[in-house]
Structure 1
Amino acid sequence: MTDQIVANTPSAGGAFPDKPPSSSKEAPELRFTNLAYEETVKLDLTCWLVALINYAARVSPLTLAAWNVRSLSDNPRSNRLERRMALVARELVRYKGQLEEVGAGYTSFWCDRPKAEQRDAGVAFAIRNDIVRRLSCLLQGFNDRLMSLHLPLRGDQFATIISAYAPPMTSSDAAKDKFYEDLHALLATVPKEDKLIVLGDFNARVGTDHAAWQGVLGPHGLGSCNDNGLLLLRTCAEHRLLLTNTFFRLPTREKATWMHPRSRRWHLLDYVLVRRRDRQDVLVTKAIRDADGWTDHRLVISQMRLRLQPRRRPQGKRPPCKLNTLLLNLPAHCFDFSNQITEKLEDLHAPDDNATVETRWCQLRNVIQSTALDVLGRAHRRHQDWFDDNDADISNLLAEKNRLHKAYMDLRTDATKAAFFRCRRLVQQRLREMQDAWMIRKAEEIQ
C-alpha cells in the first residue's frame, strides 16, 4: 500500500475555523496510508520530529508534520508520503553523534551529547538536497534538545523552524527548567520579522482552559493540564505563540497524539506552535491515526499558507554522466567494445603531417568516447544500500505488517493486537538479517 498526499489550492482566509473545511476549494485534501519500511530500520531512534515541506505544485501550501518515532531510513524511489518530504526535523537518541550525513537525496544534520555521556535525547534535521542548496546559513544546534533552521521563503522572507524535545514528566525539575531557559534564549534570537514555527514532543498536557489562556490555547484542547503544560503555556504567552493543535474542532482521534500505557487514555503531547500574528497562515493541524512507524505516538500534520523561495535556474551546462563501465565486466560487452574500437581506429583517417599533437589527441579521444557511449551507455545514478537489494522482499513483509496494523486500528482486540505485534517482531528480525547479510557481502567485495 502506498502513502499519498494530495494537496489542492486553499482559499484565502483569516483566523482558524471551528472545524476544518470540507470542500477541496477551501483547503488541501490529504490522504495517508501506512508508512514504509524505509522509515523504520536504519537509525536507532526513540523519538523524532518530522517537518515535511511539500511544494511540488505551484500553489501547494507548506505542509509540516511532527512525529515521535524510533527510526528513519531513505529510499529515493518511493512515492510514499514520507518520501515526498523536503525537510525533516526529528528528535533522536542513542545516535552515532556525527554532524552530517548525505544519502538517498537527503542531508541529515543533528546535535546530541558526547559519546561518554548518556544519550537520552537528541535533535536533528534531514533536508532534501535541493533545499540544502538554497539555505543561506548552516543549521544551528543549540543542545541535544533544541535545534533551529533558517528557511528562505518567497518574497525575501524567512521562516525559523525549531525542533524541540522537552524532558518527560519523570525528569527532574532542574532538567525541565534548563530546557525552558534554553528555549527562551533561542526564541529571543529569532528575528521579529521571521515566521516562527516550533515543532516537537513537549511531553506536556495543556488542558482545555481556553478562557484563562486567551490567544495561546484554543477552544478545542484535550484533557487536563499538568506541570509541564503550565511551563509550555507560560512560554507561549511570553513569546506570543499559540498552540495550533487546539484551534480546530476535530474528533479526539485527530487531536490526541499519545496513549498512556497503563490507563489507555489518549493525550495531546506533540504540538506545532506559531506566532499569534501568523495564525491565518495555518490551515489545519491534526493527528493522523493510521500511520505506523514502530511508535506509540501519532503523526501530527500542519498545513500552512507559506511558499518556499523559488529555485534558481542552473547556470551553464551540467557535467555529463559517467559511462556504465561495469558492463566491461561482462565478456560479451567487453568483446563487443574491443571489436568496435579496433574497427573505428582502423578506419580513422591519418592526420595531416602538419597536424598538432592536440588535434591528433582530440581525434583519438572522440573516437574512443563515441564508441564507449554507443556500447556501454551512461551509468544511472543509484543509491546503494541494503534495502535497495532487498526491495521486493521488504515490500512484501511491510505489506503484511501494514495490513495487520490496519486491522488492529479498526478492531482493537487481543487477537488483532497479538497478530500485529508478532508480525512486527518478525519484520524487525528479518530486516536485521537482510542488513547483516548485505554488510557481510559488501565487506567480502571490498576485500
Structure 2
Amino acid sequence: MTTKQTGTHQLGRRPVIQGPRPQLGKRGWVEKLATGVEGKGEGEKKLKAAIDFLKIGTWNVRTLRSPGKLELLRKEMTPYECDILGLAEMRWTGVGELNGGEVIWSGEEKNHMRGVGFLLSKRAKDALLGYNPVNSRNIVTRFNGAPLNIAVIQVYAPTSDSTEEEVETFYGQLEHTIEELPKKDVKIVIGDWNAKVGTDNLGWEQVMGCHSYGQRNNRGERLLEFASKNDLLITNTRFQQKDSRKWTWMAPDGKYTNMIDLVLVDRRWKTAVCVCRTFQGADISSDHSLVMCKLKLRLKRTTRQQRHEPRRNIDALGNATVRAAFKDKVEQRLANSPSQPVELNDRVRQLNEAIQSSVREVLPTVCKQNKPWITEHTLQLAKTKREMKERRQESEEREKEYRVVCNVVRKAAKTDKEEWLQRQCQEIERLAGDNRSREAYKLINQINRAWKPKQSAIEDKNGKMLQDKAEVKKRWTEYCRGLYTDRANSDTVITELDQISPPPNEDEMHYILYEEVAEAVKRLKKGKSPGIDDITGEMIQAGGEKLQKRYTQSVIRYGRKGEYQRNVQSIDDGVTGEIESADGTTSVRGAGRIQERQMHDTSNPDSKAYGREDDIDLLEEDRVELQGNLDRINEAGEAAGLQINIEKTMTMVFGQEDIEEELEIRGRSIENVTEFVYLGSLLTWDNDCSKEIKRRIARATGVMAGFKTIWNSKHIRTETKISIIRTCVMSVLLYACETWTLRKKDKDLLRAFEMKCYRRILHIHWHQKITNVEVQRRVGNTRNIVQLIMERKLSLFGLICRMEDK
C-alpha cells in the first residue's frame, strides 16, 4: 500500500494526504507534524494538543493609512493563520492599541512616517503579557508561552540613504531593548532590516545558514555583527528552497530582488524552528513580501478572562410595557428575597442582585454593529489583484495590469468608506426627524470625534516602560496610594473642624425619610454611565415604590459623631479609581480590569488618606496682603497634608505687566505672567478680550472642520445642519462670552465666522455674490451672533442683580 502526497510544505495552506493514513504512534505523528505534513480529523486534534505551532510573520506594508487597508490586511492574513504578524512602515502616529490589543503600534508623534506594530490573533491577544512601544523603529511584545515566555521585537531599520550615525543609533537602541528583557525569555527579532547578508556564511555559521539569497553589503555585515553579539540566528537562511521563497523585496522596475525582511531567533531555540519562508501570493500593495516562520512553541492564556454580561438596552425602559414588566420582576424578586441582612453592604448587595436579575430577564441586549464597512465587491477585487500579482513578472503587460488593478482596489475602498458615511448621515437625519436627538448626536460624535488610541503601557517612577500587565496594575495602585497619603498630622485639623462645627440638633432624625429618597430618585439624570455595580438611574426609577422603600430602609443618616462614608470617583487617561473610605479599599480600573488594594497603610493603623493638590485663587490689591494670604494657605495645606504645586502656581497683575516683587512659597519664587488660561478662558494683564475671542474662533473652526462629512451630505436637511452648528459649534465659540468686552473689530470677526459657517452648510461660494442678509434669510436666523452675546450678557447681569448680598 502506498501513500500519495500532493502539495508542498506551506505554512497557511495544508497539503492533502490521499490514501490510507499510515499507522503511527504519538511520537511518529509529532515528527510528521514537525516536517509540515498534517492530517485531518481526530488525529489532527491530538497532534495539535501534542505540539502547538506558533506562527510568526513580518511584513512591510508601506502604509496602513489608506481607507480599508487594515481590513484588507485582516482578510489577506486569514488563510495563513498567523498568530503574531509584525508590521513595518504603518505610518500611524503616536502609540497605542486597537480592539483590545488586536493591533499594537508605535509611531512618530506627529509625522506619518515609519512606524512599527503588530497584528495579533485571538489566542495571541489572550497570551499577551504586555508591550513596550520604544520608538517608531522598535516595538516589543511579550507573550505567556510554553516552555518559557516569548518576547517578539518588530523593527524597521534605517534605509540605504540613512547615515551611519542613524544606523548605529538604531542598533544601539535595539541592543538596549534586548538587554531589558528577562534573560529566560525566548527572544525573536523580526522586521525590515534593509540589509543583505548574502549567501556566503563562512565565518558566520553560528548566526546564518548556507541557503541565503543575494550579495552581502555593509549593512548586512553590521546585521551579522549584531546577531553574533546577541546570539541570534537568521532563520531565513536555514532552509533549502527555491528563490521565490527566499527574496522579500522587489525593486519598482521588477528586475531586482533582495532578502531584507528577516526573522532572527534566539540560537538556543534553533531546533524549535520548523520552517521560515516568503509567501509571494500574499498581497497588500507593497513592494515587500510576507515572511513567516513556524516554531514548535506554544502560547498560553495569561488569565481566565472575566465574562462580561452583554450590554442591555436601557432605553427600552421608556416603553410603558417594558417598564411595567421590569417593575413587576423587581417587586417579585424583593418579595421572594429572604429577610434583610443586618449589614448595610449586604442590604445593598441584595437590592443590586434583584435589579440585575430583572434586567437580564426583561431588557433586550444591545446589538453591537461590528460589520466592516468594506464591501464584498472590494474584497473580490483584492482577490483578483492577489492573483494578478503572481503573474506580474511574466511580462511588462502583466505588470501594467497589476498596477492598474491596485489603483482600482484603492479607489473601491475609498468609495466604500464614503458610501458608509452617507448611510450614517441618513440614519442621523432619521433619528433627528423622530426627535431622538440623543441618539442622533451620539452617532454624530462617533463619526466626527478625534480618534484617540488607547495605551495600557505606562512608565514607572524611574521612567522605565513597564511591559507586564501585572506590573502596570501594580504601578497604578502605587500611584493612587501616593495621591491619598496623609503627610501631616491631620488629627489636629479634624479636631479643629469638630470644635468650630455648629452644635448638634437633638431633634435631628438619624434616618432618611422615604420622601427624601423618592425625591432623590426622581432627580436622577438619565443617560449616565453606571458604576461597577452596573446599576443606572433609569433602573432605580423604573423599579417602583417598593424598591425605593427598600432603599430607604437600607440607608442611615449618621449624626455628627457617626461613621462617615465618602465615595470619590476620578477619571484620568482612561483609568477610573473608585475610593471608598468606609472599608479602606480602592478599586483601580485600567485596561478593562479591576485591581483592588488597601487604601490605608496596613502597617500603620492610624494612617489616613487625603489629596495632595487643589485649585485656589487669591485676589488682593496689595502685594503684602497677597503674600500673607499665600503663606496662610500654604501653612494650612501642609497641616492637612496638602502641597502647593509651585510649577503650576503663578501670579498676574491686572493693569500692569510686571509685579513689584515676586511672591514666594517655601523659599521659591513664583513666576509672574502677562496672560494665562483659567477655567477655559484666556485672561490677560490688560483685560483685552480680543485674544480670547480669536482663540475661541480658532477652536470653533476646528470643530466646524471636523463635521465635514455632515456638511457635505445630501441626506441631512439644512435645518438639521443648522441645529448641529448651534449646539456643537456655537457652544464652543461662545464659552464664557458673558465676560467679553466687545470692540468693533471683535464683532466683525464674530459675524464673519457666523456667516462662514452658514455659507458652508448652504454650499455658497464667495464668487456667487450672495449677501449676508440673504444668507440669514435662508437659514431662518432672526438674530446674529453679536445680538445673542448681548442677550447672554444681560441675562448674567440680571442674575447678579437678583443675588442677595452676603
TM-score of the alignment, normalized to the shorter chain, above 0.5: yes
1:9-60: CA deviations, max 9, x gaps? 9x989xxxxxxxxx95443359xxxxxxxxxxxxxxxxxxxxxxxx986632
Q: Distance in 2 between matches of 1:83 and 1:122?
A: 24
Within-5 A mapping of 1:328-339: none
Give 1:224's match in structure 2, choosing from 194, 215, 221: 215
Give 1:111's match in structure 2, choosing from 79, 103, 106: 106
SS of the residue aligned with 1:405? helix
Residue 89 (str. 1) matches residue 79 (str. 2)? no
Give 1:211's match in structure 2, choosing from 180, 197, 202: 202
Map of 2:396 onto structure 1: 414
Within-5 A mapping of 1:18-417: 24-28=32-36, 59-69=51-61, 70-71=63-64, 72-74=69-71, 81=78, 84-97=81-94, 99-103=95-99, 106-115=101-110, 118-127=111-120, 131-132=124-125, 134-136=127-129, 138-155=130-147, 157-262=148-253, 264-310=255-301, 312-313=303-304, 318-323=307-312, 369=359, 372-373=362-363, 376=364, 378-383=365-370, 388=371, 390-391=373-374, 393=375, 395-410=376-391, 412-417=394-399
Shift, 1:67, TM fit: 0.9
Q: Distance in 2 between matches of 1:208 and 1:438?
A: 50
Q: Which amino acid is 1:150 matched to? A: R
Q: Distance in 2 between matches of 1:275 and 1:367?
A: 53
Shift, 1:318, TM fit: 3.5
**Contact preservation (8 Å) 1:154, 1:310:** no
TM-score (norm 2): 0.42
Map of 1:35 onto structure 2: none
SS of the residue aligned with 2:158? coil
1:360-414: CA deviations, max 9, x gaps? 98999599647635xx4x344443xxxx3545x3x22222332243144136233
Map of 1:435 onto structure 2: 417
Shift, 1:285, TM fit: 0.2
SS of the residue aligned with 1:320? coil
Higher RCO, 1 vs 2 (CA within 8 Å, ≥6 residues apart): 1
1:396-439: CA deviations, max 9, x gaps? 22223322431441362333333332222122112112223434
Q: Distance in 2 between matches of 1:371 and 1:192?
A: 52
Shift, 1:148, TM fit: 1.5
Q: Distance in 1 between matches of 2:302 and 2:332?
A: 46
Q: Distance in 2 between matches of 1:305 and 1:365?
A: 50
Q: Could you say if the C-alpha distance between residues 440 and 184 of structure 1 is closer, same or farther in structure 2, counting changes exceeding 3 Å?
A: same
Q: Which amino acid is 1:410 matched to? A: R
**Contact preservation (8 Å) 2:57, 2:84:** no
Shift, 1:268, TM fit: 0.4
**Contact preservation (8 Å) 2:234, 2:263:** yes
Shift, 1:135, TM fit: 4.0
1:79-119: CA deviations, max 9, x gaps? 9627955444322353232x22332x64433322332xx55
Shift, 1:212, TM fit: 2.8
Structure 2, unmatched stretches of 5+, are: 1-10, 17-23, 39-46, 341-346, 429-439, 445-806
**Contact preservation (8 Å) 1:7, 1:60:** no
Map of 2:728 onto structure 1: none
Q: Could you say if the C-alpha distance between residues 202 and 419 of structure 1 is closer, same or farther in structure 2, counting changes exceeding 3 Å?
A: same
Task: Indicate the structure with greater helix content.
Answer: 2
Shift, 1:248, TM fit: 0.3
**Contact preservation (8 Å) 1:76, 1:83:** no
Which stretch shifts more, 88-97 or 287-296? 88-97
Which stretch shifts more, 290-299 or 261-270? 261-270
Q: Could you say if the C-alpha distance between residues 364 and 295 of structure 1 is closer, same or farther in structure 2, counting changes exceeding 3 Å?
A: closer
TM-score (norm 1): 0.72
Supply the RMSD in Å over aligned alpha carbons: 4.2
Q: Distance in 2 between matches of 1:417 and 1:263?
A: 8
Q: Could you say if the C-alpha distance between residues 288 and 328 of structure 1 is closer, same or farther in structure 2, counting changes exceeding 3 Å?
A: farther
Structure with greater Cα Rg: 2
Shift, 1:237, TM fit: 1.6
Give 1:424's match in structure 2, choosing from 381, 394, 406: 406
Shift, 1:63, TM fit: 0.7
**Contact preservation (8 Å) 1:205, 1:268:** yes
1:145-204: CA deviations, max 9, x gaps? 11212222124x222211111111111222112112222322333343221100000011
Q: Which amino acid is 2:213 matched to? A: L
Q: Which amino acid is 2:398 matched to? A: T
SS of the residue aligned with 2:382? helix
Q: Distance in 2 between matches of 1:194 and 1:74?
A: 32
**Contact preservation (8 Å) 2:248, 2:258:** yes
Q: Which amino acid is 1:320 matched to? A: E
Q: Tell me the number of residue pairs that the alignment of Structure 1 and Structure 2 aligns.
A: 387
Q: Could you say if the C-alpha distance between residues 325 and 239 of structure 1 is closer, same or farther in structure 2, counting changes exceeding 3 Å?
A: same
Q: Distance in 1 between matches of 2:173 and 2:77?
A: 36
**Contact preservation (8 Å) 1:65, 1:301:** yes
SS of the residue aligned with 2:144? strand
Shift, 1:263, TM fit: 6.4
Map of 1:52 onto structure 2: none
Which stretch shifts more, 224-233 or 395-404? 395-404
Q: Distance in 2 between matches of 1:217 and 1:168?
A: 22
**Contact preservation (8 Å) 1:337, 1:371:** no
**Contact preservation (8 Å) 2:73, 2:284:** no
Which stretch shifts more, 293-302 or 182-191? 182-191
Q: Distance in 2 between matches of 1:161 and 1:363?
A: 44
Q: Distance in 2 between matches of 1:224 and 1:285?
A: 20
Q: Distance in 2 between matches of 1:361 and 1:276?
A: 60
Q: Could you say if the C-alpha distance between residues 75 and 258 of structure 1 is closer, same or farther in structure 2, counting changes exceeding 3 Å?
A: closer
Q: Distance in 1 between matches of 2:159 and 2:93?
A: 23
Q: Could you say if the C-alpha distance between residues 368 and 296 of structure 1 is closer, same or farther in structure 2, counting changes exceeding 3 Å?
A: same
SS of the residue aligned with 2:60? coil
Q: Distance in 2 between matches of 1:76 and 1:338?
A: 45
